[in-house]
Structure 1
Amino acid sequence: MGQTVMSGERSGTGGGLSGTNGIAFPVVPWKLFAALACFLLVVIVVNISSHAIEDPQTALWEPVLWECSSYLAILVLVPGIYYSYQRFHWQRFGVPRFLAAQMVACLGFSLAHIAIMVGLRLIGYGLVHQHYDFAQGHLALELIYEGRKDALTFLVACGFIWVYERLGQTVPAALPERIEVRSDGRTLYLTPFEILYAEAAGNYIELHLTTTPKPLLLRGTLIEYEKRLGAYGFVRIHRSRLLNRDHMRSFTSTTAGDLRITLSDGRELTGSRRFRDQIT
């Protein structure tokens, strides 16, 4: 197997959802959804009024149905747009891959929007015993026409997500230079670099240090220490182990797909393939 050698600096993720494997379908923040819904509502009101002014011969209920069916279809699909944005976030995958993913997502959004919208219109016209013909003999032209508008809608939705993320960012508080731990009745203050890795040991945690071969035994769970140490660059590499990435020098893949990680002091740790994305 090939070996990957790590430099002293680690590349950041820049935020977004942590991890990429088995990502859960994210819930759209209600403030973001409400803001986008209000913006689109203004647009459809303007469109309905434009129809009424420019084509007074058409019954008002028709443009209302046209616009509301499109509006409802978009709202139904907003979670999909949000998922696509977060799943292939540009801060994790880079701008080119993000844009490529969004182009595919935009096409899917347009087709789904048209399908839902036309379905709602067919129901609406059916309720008043009238016929609705979306294509009007020019299906390709209608798809291009709707696709152009859908691309703009998709772009606007992504813009709302981007702005929402920017507004939600806060300046992080400065991290303490030392980490306070208690072991054997003593209170110790360790620098993050002193800790090689942390390992679960029943109801305790073992901190393996650069300064002593004997690990410190601390009461607590690995989840608690993952929250405490995560900001200092510690990542989960195994269900029972956290690693200080600053001490990772190289890793190789095993035949089973797991990782064999070499630390700065020469010792080796096993990392689970489940957490491979944390260090690659």
Structure 2
Amino acid sequence: MAGDPGGTSSGADVTDDQGTGTSGGTAGTGGMTARTLTALLLGAMLLFGIVRITANVYSYIADRHGTGVEVAASTAWMLEGTALAAWVIMLVPCWFTVRTIRPPRFGLPATVLIHALLVIPVSLGHIALMVAFRTAAWWLTGGSYHFGSPEGDPVLYEFRKDVSTYAELIFILFLVQWLVARYAAPPAEKPAPATLAVGDGSITHHLPIAEIEHVAAAGNYVEIAWRGQRLLHRATMTGIEEELMSAGFARIHRSRLVRRDAVRRVVTHKSGDFDVEMESGETLRGSRRFRGNLETG
């Protein structure tokens, strides 16, 4: 009988930037806040509860008619409506209970056990509210309400129904809180691409390391191949190697480094030396001493 809520790129020296996305966070893609989403989900639960008690009303009338007792639709609506209203109020403690007593804060067995015990005070609170609402409703309509049940003790009768309603309710509230938490979580920020600062007079180029194809020694400088250009950078091969090694670069010659994932083909000669064909189409000579560097790291 009791109802429930249902259960800018400008030249070679500027790195391309991307604007901050709006695919997540507390505002989401449509500008909706997490609080608004929560209200909408709880509103959907209430709407579902109204649909259920509507079915319960006519089912109750039909069942009583089958036993020879005629019940007015207004009476059935007051019975089911007050039960739903009591559950709406009990949503508040249930919401905080579910938010507190849940995995991983508590293990699943402990969570189930605690909620199995909590159903007792929750049910008693629901029954007390329901009786109070019904007493007030009958008084307003000029009648009096007697708390009873079709069979046995009315408290036990209502408790048996509340157990299933509570189990359904905490499961739905857990899903609502999980959805809101996922919606409100800030989007994972993509790490800024690693760059190499290359001085060119008064200009400092910040080159994305992932776009550097290879590096070659050039006297007191190194020559950096980037987007089809050659940029001179004052550094030693040893120093640049230490800086780029962790970014997937390998030395193939005492005077040359290549980015491993820019290598398209390796041709090994009888002498053990080899040629490396890069993604740009350029072919670089490698020394047999460094052949293994392309296969490790």
TM-score bucket of the superposed structures, by smaller chain: 0.3 to 0.5
TM-score normalised by the chain length of structure 2: 0.45
TM-score normalised by the chain length of structure 1: 0.48
Structure showing greater Rg: 2
